[in-house]
Amino acid sequence: MRDTLRFSYRLSLIRTVAMLAAAVAVPSGLAYIARGSHRPVQMFRVITLSPSQASTFFWTFFVLSLLAAGIAVWVVVQSHTGPGYVELGPQAAVLPRASLSRVLMSVPYAAISEIRAIHLPGRQQMIIVESPAGQTRVSSRAFATAADFARFLRALHERARA
């Protein structure tokens, strides 16, 4: 009989604060530029915008970046309000569905057709699990330690092969 292995799966506080700071900084910077454009602005040495055109241009990008910041804040809230674990049970793995929302799904080991570990920029890895129930993606950055991620991946491979 295999034991249930449960791993903490949540963004760290440092990453959360950095994401929120970036989400607020970009719209704030664009609003500052839009409010302060009192002279013509030359764009890429090709187009010169009048002060009113420059103001409109930067306010437009402010609104777009505000929408992007809203999505970033939503992702952070989802990360911290949803389940904070992944689990390898005796018969199935409980993994996050491949979506922006934090919904977990139970994937029986017998139904797993493929497990891939891919490397992403910034020393990050992602496990992609394919099954008839759908695709799940597990990021190494959400684990408490790199050792936990390696242990999770090893145990998932072992249980899927058995």
pLDDT digits (tens, 9 = 90+) for 11-44: 778 878 888 898 899 999 999 988 987 888 888 8
- CATH for the 5-10+84-161 domain, from 2.30.29.30, 2.170.120.12, 1.10.10.60, 3.50.50.60: 2.30.29.30
pLDDT digits (tens, 9 = 90+) for 93-123: 999 887 766 788 999 999 999 999 999 988 8
87 burial level (CB within 10 Å; 0-12, 13-18, 19+): middle
Residues 6+ apart with CB under 8 A from 101: 78, 82
pLDDT of residue 2: 73
C-alpha 150/C-alpha 93 separation (Å) is: 16
- Going from N- to C-terminal start, the domains of the chain cover 5-10+84-161, 13-81
Q: Are 99 and 137 in contact (CB under 8 A)?
A: no
